Structure 1
Amino acid sequence: MRFATPLVPARLIRRYMRFLSDVELSDGTVVKAHCPNPGSMMGLKDEGMRVWIEPNDDPKKKLDWGWRLAELPDAFVGIDTGAANKVVAEALAEGIDALSGYDVIRPEVKYREKSRVDFLLSSSGRRDCYLEVKSVTLSRQAGLAEFPDSVTARGAKHLGDLAAMVEQGHRAVLLFLVQRTDCDRVTLAADIDPTYAAAFKAAQAAGVEVICLACAITPDGITATHQLPYG
């Protein structure tokens, strides 16, 4: 996934009200940027850190800038949770080994009660595959990516929905997309959200599969690369 407009480096002043941030451009100008991440963004919102923002000329959007990347001393992190589905959609089109062999890939399909699955994969003679994507940006230990970074009742509901699909005879997969370049394995942050961890354990027991993908990230774009181990 290439960014639609070349990103601009800036310095973070603050992130506030969940979806807003103030950043300073290289010429000293302070601008307001949309922060497309509802999580805690632990470790990614420190004052003074280098960030990359995208200019926006869409008159329908309220802000002229959107925050896209956080730059750490040894890594890039994609903070836009909405980008995860775009990255996975491209990866599915190019082929993910564990999800190959499906002829039709449909995004945002309604199912269960007030739910939408990120992707529904289908093919004649095969079980439908319900694929839920989660963007992973938290890392509190070198090399280890964790999900979630805050309590997510919605995420726990999604796990229950996936388990229900398995019980109905379908295939269900939870895909963790690790949007940071300094991690080589993935696990749950059970201390942050014990309820989600319990729902995850129940979903796995019901037959929900887990796939973890790494990303290559630069100010030009984000691409899913290879599978990472979970555990």
Structure 2
Amino acid sequence: MWSPRLALGAALLPLALLVMRDVPAPPEREAADSAPPPGAPRPAIVSRADWRADESMVRERARYTGPASAVFVHHTGHPNGYDCDDVPDMLRALEVEHIKGEGWDDIGYNFVVDRCGTIYEGRAGGIGRPVYGAHTKGFNRDSVGVAALGTYGEGVEVPRALIEGIARIAAWKLRPGADPLGKVRLVSTNDESRYDKGEAATFHVVSGHRDSHQTDCPGQALYDLLPVIREETARLRRS
């Protein structure tokens, strides 16, 4: 489900449908069978100030949740042939579309990773803080939304640098003791996900958007590589 209105230059850039308001509810967690690896150090992240986000457009102050027990991987729906030097411009256009075009409070994703592996701060509130995102309706509490900049449907080659970038941010943001190779049980806070409000659902600690919603996101090619991202995330936390 993508918005047709975002334009970068002459191209229309489809966007993932995000829902910005999600009532928090305490999640239930399921321990992984194996011993969880420790956390990983913070990777290099381009801040909102550095990509020149327009903070005057943000409609509400950030809210916060608990440490991340899950990571949900998305793709943004942009064309894949972009120059990585143009990503700040793309993010500013994304901000305009989400806030002024869709009427949302801010960018929904907590982080965005480009095809060169660069990690960008998405939603405002503090890179190191557990910002309550708007990326995975019903499961935004105690989770992080990471979006791959591009469209990664079936047959599309996913850059290795992108995979590594997603793994780096996941390894850092997951709470201490979370096992990237394990599973977690969360409780839905919204009937519009695959699960009714109040229903418990079990996810991989590193999951795709489609695991919770009727959507193709994050695209078949990227979804098929989630096991690789989990392994790389676990390796980073062990090392």
TM-score of the aligned structures, taking structure 1 as reference length: 0.30
Structure number with higher helix proportion: 2
Structure number with higher strand proportion: 1
Higher RCO structure, 1 or 2 (CA under 8 Å, sep 6+): 2
Which of 1 and 2 has greater Rg?
A: 1
TM-score of the aligned structures, taking structure 2 as reference length: 0.29
